[in-house]
Amino acid sequence: MLEQIKSIQDLKNLSVKDLPQLCAEIREKLIADVSQSGGHLASNLGVVELTVALHYVFDECDKIVWDVGHQCYVHKILTLRGENFLSLRSKNGISGFPDTEESDSDAFNTGHAGTAISAALGLAKARDLRGENYNVIAVVGDGSMTCGMTYEALNNVKDTKLLIVLNDNNMSIGQNVGSATLNMSKLRVGKYDRNKERLKKFLLKVPLLGKPTYKFLRWCKRRAKLGYVRNSYFDNFDLKYVGIIDGNEVKDLVYYFTKIKNNVSKPTLMQVVTKKGKGYTPAEQDPESYHSVNKAGASADLLESSAVVGDALVRLLEEGKNVAAVCAAMAKATGLAAVQNVYPDCFFDVGIAEEHAVTFAAGLAKGGVHPFVAIYSSFLQRSYDQILHDVAIQNLPVTFLLDRAGFVGEDGKTHQGLFDLSYLSQIPNLTVYTPATYMQLSQMIEWSVGQDRPIAIRYSKHLLHDKRGFDGKWNRTTVAQPKVYLLAVGARLSRLACEVATKFDNAAAVEVTSVKPLDEDLLNEIVACNAAVITMEENVLAGGFGQSVTSYFVKKGFAARVVNLGVDDVYVKHATVEEQLQQFGFDVDSLTEQVKNLLQ
C-alpha cells in the first residue's frame, strides 16, 4: 500500500479502514531503513499514526511545524521523499530534520526544542495579516513543555486560530523531569487506558449487542472529549483543550482532527498519548538507547568523552570535593548519569532549559558549590546571555563542559558545534580549554575545581587515547628549527597535524589545549623563529582561534605568514564527519599542500 502513495492526494484517496495497514507498512520501512542509514528511530516509531492522520485530514496548503523535528521522518516519507529515504542524513541526501530548502512541505526549519509554538504562531499571524486561509499546526513533544520558550509562546496565542498537538510520550531523549511533566502525567490516561481495553475486549465478546454497545460508548466518549473540557493546566492560556486521545489509534485521530479542522476557530490544544518506539520491541523497552541509532557498519569507539566526564566527577565527589553536576535533559548523553546513580543529591537535571541551567549554576556557585554544567556545544549557545550576564560578570567559578564540539556529522546544520570558540572567547573572565586526549579532559575537570573563575572545557565525542596530560601549555612535536607550525585545536585536528608534520623535516605539530588564554611562550617562539603558521579549528573563522593568533602577531608587530583553516561563514549540512573535514581542507592531501606552499 505504501508503494502506491505518490502524493498526499493518494493518501487522501484511501479509506480510513486502510490507514492501520498503511501505518504498519510505514513502521516496517522506518525500522528497515533507519537501521541502515542511522538516525532517530524511537521518536519516529511513536508518531506514525499521528503523522498519517495529520496528512490525511489537513490540506497540502496547511502548515505543520515540528518541535525539534527529529520525529519528522514519517512526514518526509509521505511528502515524496520515501523512495530516497536510505539517503537519510547522508551527504546530498535527505536531512534528518525539517528543511525548507529540501521541500516546500517543511514549513519551518527546526532542530532544537521549544521553538514550534512560537514559529507556528508567527505563521498564523502572518496568515491573518495577509488575509489568507490555511491551518497551522504545531506538533510539540511533552519534553518541550520544560522549555521556557514554550510558555512564552503560549502566553501570546490568545484569539489566534492555531492547533497545538501535544505529543505526550513521557520522554525527552531520556525521562522527563520537573514539576511541569509531573502535572502532565496527571493528565495522562493511566488506569483509564487499561480499563478501556478491558471493556472493549469484554463487549466485543458479547453476542449481538456487544459490538453496537461498544460503538455507542465510543461515540459518547468522542463527543465528550470534543466538548469544552476544562483543564486547569491550560486554562490560564485561554486554550480550548481536547484530550486525552490515543495517539497510536489512527482512526480516532482522524475523527478528532476532522472535527477540529471544521469547527475550531480559536487556539486549541489536543493532547495525544503515544508510545515512543512503538512496534519495535527493543525500542519500546529502551527508548532512550534507541532515540538515535548508528548507521549500519559504523565503527564504534569503546570510550567516549562522556564516560570520562562521569568518572571524573564521581571521583571528585568521592574525594569530598564540594561540587555539583547540572545538565539540561541529557544526563546519559553527557555522562552525568554516573553522578546521578552514585550521588543523586549532587545531580540536577533541569529539563530542556539551558538558560535556567546556567543561571541556576551561577546561584550554586554564589552559594559556595562548584557546579559543572554539561551541555552539548550547539545547545549551550541558547544560554549565551546567561553565561555572559549571570556567570561571567560576577566571575563565578562555574565549569562548562561542552560535549559534541566541532563537526557532528549527520545531524547537520542545526547541531554543528562550530560556534562555541567564537561566542565564548569574546566573554571577559571566561577561559576556554580544548583537550585533545582523554587524560587531558580528566585532568582539566579536576584542575578546574581549584579555580575561582568561569571555565569552559570544549571537546568532541571521541578524543585521543594518548597519555599526554595537561599542564597549561600547548604540546608540540620535537623539531630542531621549525619553518611551519601547525596549530591544531581538538583531537581530530591534532592527529591530522601530527600525521602531516611527519612528512617534513621542518614542520612542527602543536596540540592547542587552550584557546583562551593563548600560549604566549609558544607564540613568541614562532616569532623568534620567523616561522609560518597554519591554524586549524573546527569552528567558524570569524572570532575564532585563528583570528586570535593572527591578532596576537599583529600586536607584536610580527608580519607572519598565517593561514587560518576553519569554517568560513556558512552553515555546514549533514554528511559524515570525515566528509565535513575534507570539505574544509582538513585531510592529509590538502594540509600537505598548504605546508608545501608555505615552505616555498
Q: Which residues are catalytic?
A: 276, 354, 382
Q: Return the ∠ at Cα 102 (arms to 247 and 405), rounded to 5°.
A: 85
- Residue 233 CB burial class (10 angstroms; 0-12, 13-18, ≥19): middle
Sign of CA dihedral 350, 356, 359, 360: negative
Backbone angles phi, psi at 427, to 5 degrees: -90, 120
Closest CA to 526 of 506, 503, 498, 553: 553
Q: From CA 353, how far away is CA 145, in angstroms rounded?
A: 10
Q: From CA 458, how far away is CA 440, in angstroms rounded?
A: 11
Closest CA to 486 of 469, 511, 452: 511
Dihedral Cα 509, 511, 515, 521, nearest 10 deg: -70
- Tell me the one-letter amino acid at 519: D
Reduce the DSSP state of residue 112 to 3 states and report it: coil
Q: How many Å separate Cα 213 from the centre of its chain?
A: 47
CA atoms within 13 A on the CB side of 249: 12
Cis peptide before 244 (omega within 30 of 0): yes
Number of residues in the chain: 600
Reduce the DSSP state of residue 463 to 3 states and report it: coil
211-to-99, 195, 205 alpha-carbon distances in Å: 46, 17, 8
Asked if 102 and 110 count as a contact pair (C-beta separation under 8 A), the reply is no
Strands (E), 368-425: 370-376, 399-403
Asked if 490 and 406 count as a contact pair (C-beta separation under 8 A), the reply is yes
Query: Which helix (DSSP H) or strand (DSSP E) does residue 384 occupy?
Result: helix 384-386
C-alpha cell read off for 60: 497540502
Give the contacts of 509 (CB within 8 A, at least 6 positions apart). Answer: 476, 477, 486, 488, 494, 497, 498, 500, 501
